[in-house]
Structure 1
Amino acid sequence: MDVLSGATDAYEGKWEILTEETKGFEEFSDAIGRPEENRTHVRNQVYVVEYKKDVNNVNVTVEMQGVSTPKTFSWTPGVEFNYVGLDRANMKSTIRWDGNVCREDHASETGKWTAIRTVDGDSMTLTSECNGVTMVEKFKRV
């Protein structure tokens, strides 16, 4: 039985971040306690993220410009998992779908935050929030 029930269909495929459209990066980094050395690594990082699903899991591959080995993550919706984020922080996350809206709950050594991911055609928006501080990132389907 497919536990994802089509919820991830709009997300499947490859998405490139539009770094020039990111809003609130520094303020959000302050809110989650992201160290400066981690900010420098991710601030202008160009990457493509690819979503694929199987019956029970979502598999994500992140290809970063200038990095030869892609990062791969796999999770079951609603089940907490551990991984190392793009900013090199150790994280625990739980990701759920509510219809076509993806809700992500994250925690690192320095802070906790939520993120809402939505897709409208070939555009994806990721809105992250911590203690009333918001960062918005945009992606395009490639």
Structure 2
Amino acid sequence: MRATYRILSAALLGSVAVQIFLAGRGIGTGSFAPHRGFAYGVLVLALVTTVAGLVARAPRRAVSCTAGAFALMFLQPVLVHLGKSAGADAGGGLFFGLHALNAVVMVSLLVVALRQPSPRGRPTEEKTARAREGAAS
């Protein structure tokens, strides 16, 4: 199950990268519909990934980072709404900039989640103690 969590985490990181690409494409074309539409799928994937991490008993830090990215995804539309409401003259660009920065933070959290070591590969204290006893005999 931990392998599933890692695969989902990598897919989530990739989907956030696609989201950033779609945002850049929207700036160039003036159409953000693909960016908005794909966001719902990314949100669902983030929820599934977080739940999979909990079920798999993945490292706490990894699951916390995945859950943090999931939580930050809810902030994204709020920042866009605030930017549109404020308008360009009243500092709306600040909120759009925060929208982009928030995406960078999400990417960072997901990279940290993926870099967490798998506990399977580490010897437990019990195994280490048994190995010491065996070596002493």
Question: Shorter chain as normaliser: what TM range?
Answer: under 0.3
Structure 2 length as normaliser, TM-score? 0.26
Q: Which has more strand, going by share of residues?
A: 1
Greater Rg by CA: 2
Greater per-residue helix proportion: 2
TM-score by length of 1: 0.26
